[in-house]
Chains A and B, each alone.
Chain A
Amino acid sequence: MKRAVELRLKNDMSEIAIVRDALDNLASELGIPMQALMQLQVALDEVVSNVVKYSWQDDAKHEFLVRITVHPDRVDLEIFDDGQAFDPLSVPPPATVTDGRRPQPGGLGIHLIKKLVDNFTYERIGGRNHTTLSKRCEVGAAQRSEK
């Protein structure tokens, strides 16, 4: 059994709270383990804030779609936006301190996503960016053992 929630967001930073709360609610309802939830929240913030910041450069209002799907053994986060094509997987990793300077924060978020989720894919389909993050975790284990 799986549960999916779709949310239509505006390209405004404050809208990130909407998906954040939706993921929290799904987690407490269906039993996403705490550690996985926190890591998913970080990854979700990174990917959605990137869309808000970089997908459109015209200062106009746009909308994009976030779909959260909870499976028994994993959680998928999908983002669909019709902004400029951007493959997050093409971003080079951030420079490290061993280079003798502080990391330039540009690629940090994407680097974190790669570390936090098990699967990270990007496709450009019909003029839309389709970014998918997937994290394996055992959903509902705590709920089942309570019964």
Chain B
Amino acid sequence: MNNSALSIAQTRAGDVCVVTLSGRIDSTNANDVVNELTRLFASGEKTILVDLGAVLYLTSAAFRALLVATDEAERRAARFALCSLAGHVRDLFEMGGLIEVFSIHGSREEALKQLGRPVPRAI
């Protein structure tokens, strides 16, 4: 398995802050995810969408990170959602009984349609 390191990238789609996680999220790096998401909520983001499409696998440390972010969103009356779970990643959510816990969208497009206004098109 190559590309082992976790990378966290960030883009904006209208009012939605999209955080793309790729690689593996485990107990060595899950804190980076908590810190980044907490920082974004603290900086005033009202809607954060985490794209998990490029995640190789995640462990309970990663689930904890996403649960902390969910609580943080609730505390700040913000929205927090996930999208693009690949089959094996979805399996892990299911094994953990966590599918119902998070707001999960099939794709980034679907999520953005529901979460925010469409990105304004350049004229």
Residues of A whose CB lies within 8 Å of any CB of B are 13-14, 16-17, 20-21, 24, 27-28, 34-35, 37-39, 41-42, 45-46, 48-49, 52, 94, 96-97, 102-103, 105, 108-109, 111-112, 115-116
Cα distance A113–B63 when bound, in Å?
14
Interface contact B95-A112, CB-CB below 8 Å: yes
- Given the complex of chains A and B, what is the CA–CA distance between A94 and B60 in angstroms? 12
Q: Which of A16, A34, A97, A103 contacts B26 (CB 8 A)?
A: A16
A-B contact pairs, 9 of them (CB 8 A): A14-B28, A35-B88, A45-B27, A46-B60, A103-B96, A103-B101, A108-B63, A111-B97, A112-B60
- The reply to whether B96 and A112 form a contact with Cβ atoms under 8 Å apart is yes
**Which B residues from 74 to 123 make CB contacts under 8 A with A?**
88, 92, 95-98, 100-101
Q: Are B95 and A105 in touch, CB under 8 angstroms?
A: no
Q: How far is the CA of A112 from the CA of B59 in the complex (A)?
A: 8
Q: In the complex, what distance in Å separates the CA atom of A97 from the CA atom of B28?
A: 27
- Report whether over half of chain A's contact residues are helix, strand or loop; otherwise say mixed: helix
Assess the B28–A105 pair: CB atoms within 8 A: no
Candidates B27, B57, B60, B64; contact of A16 at CB < 8 Å: B27
- Rounded to whole angstroms, the CA-CA distance of A35 and B87 in the bound complex is 11
Residues from chain B with Cβ under 8 Å of A45 in the complex: 26-27, 59, 61
Give the A-binding residues of B (Cβ under 8 A): 1, 4, 24, 26-28, 56-61, 63-64, 67, 70-71, 88, 92, 95-98, 100-101
Question: B27, A94: Cβ atoms under 8 Å?
Answer: no
Using Cβ atoms and an 8 Å threshold, which residues of chain A touch B24? 41
Let me know if A116 and B95 touch, CB within 8 A.
Answer: yes
Contact: A112 with B1, CB < 8 Å? no
Q: Which residues of B contact A112 (CB under 8 A)?
A: 59-60, 92, 95-96
Name 11 extra pairs, CB < 8 A, besides A111-B96, A115-B95.
Answer: A38-B1, A38-B57, A41-B57, A45-B26, A94-B97, A105-B63, A108-B63, A109-B59, A112-B59, A112-B95, A112-B96
